Amino acid sequence: MNILIFSLILLVSAYMAGLLGSLTGLGGGVILIPLLTLIFHVDIRYAIGAALLASIANSSGAATSYIKEGITNIRLGMFLEIATTTGAVTGALIAVFMPVNAIAILLGVVLIFSAAMTIRKKHEHLEQTGSKLSYLLKLNSSYPTATGEVNYKLKNVGGGFSIMLLAGVLSGLLGIGSGALKVLAMDGAMRIPFKVSTTTSNFMIGVTAAASAVVYLQRGYIEPGIAFPVVLGVLGGAFTGARLLTMMNPQTLRIIFSVAITFVAIEMIYNGFNHQF
């Protein structure tokens, strides 16, 4: 295969990854790494470098629309970024000492977890009383709905912060946005309404990914021949996905895709144990 054909196939595949990632809410990176390693037989380190870039592109590209709708809680995002960036730098440091196979297996486990998270039931819970820390850090806020502004308050700020630290480590180690863990921290621990937690999570992913990407760039994980088709493709796919989302409800797609990604994850884990990376 020559470079031209390889780049074009990669561009189209990355577009599909971006489209599916955006429709299912899993993010492009989660699909990109198995795609690059299992199908294109690219070393997982190059795949991680490319996926980090794609995460940043998605997060920065989508920020405008979320901010416009006034859903993102910027203070909360900034506060939790202390945890995710610290985690991401730590993750990038640990990555050097981790065998490549262990990274593949861990990624498989995180994929299954992310798939399970996308199909779980989402309930819009609104807390009327916040924890002490939530007032101190001015994290309680409101967001617009069809029936007007809705106020919400936060609980268990410390617990959420700790999960975010872990999300950061995984993001730095695996090159994914780990949006599923971020939502778990905000949605599950801190009791933030689902809409706010997903958009704030997306808002944070770019900064988190940048914290480890600068290390990976210096380590030579970012290969221009892979980076350019991947970034352009994923971003294009994500924009198409965002458009489609306003017209359709992808619940069925989510379920089918979660099952598919689980099989991919099992393959990653299987290959990891058989030292295929």
Q: Which is nearer to other proteins, 64 or 249 (CB)?
A: 64
Tell the smallest beta-carbon distance from residue 125 to other proteins (Å): 26
Q: Which residues bind other proteins (CB under 8 A)?
A: 1-4, 6-7, 40-43, 45-46, 53, 56-57, 59-61, 63-65, 67-68, 70, 74-75, 78-79, 81-82, 85-86, 88-89, 92-93, 96, 137-138, 206-207, 209-215, 217-229, 231-232, 235
Place of tokens 């950061």: 168
Tell the smallest beta-carbon distance from residue 248 to other proteins (Å): 24
Output the CA torsion sign for 114, 115, 121, 124: positive
CA dihedral 233→61→245→167, nearest 10 degrees, is 90
User: How far from chain centre, in Å, is Cα 272?
Assistant: 22
Q: Three-class SS of residue 96?
A: coil
Q: Which is nearer to other proteins, 106 or 260 (CB)?
A: 106
Decide: 214 and 93 in contact? Cβ < 8 Å: no
Q: Which is nearer to other proteins, 15 or 257 (CB)?
A: 15
C-alpha distances in angstroms, 145 versus 71, 72, 121, 148, 193? 9, 13, 20, 5, 11
Decide: 42 and 259 in contact? Cβ < 8 Å: no
Tell the smallest beta-carbon distance from residue 197 to other proteins (Å): 18
Q: Which is nearer to other proteins, 2 or 246 (CB)?
A: 2
Place of tokens 């994500």: 238
Q: Which is nearer to other proteins, 6 or 194 (CB)?
A: 6
Tell the smallest beta-carbon distance from residue 165 to other proteins (Å): 12
Tell the smallest beta-carbon distance from residue 36 to other proteins (Å): 8
Q: Which is nearer to other proteins, 189 or 235 (CB)?
A: 235
d(CA 140, CA 153): 5
Output the CA torsion sign for 65, 22, 80, 49: negative
Tell the smallest beta-carbon distance from residue 103 to other proteins (Å): 12
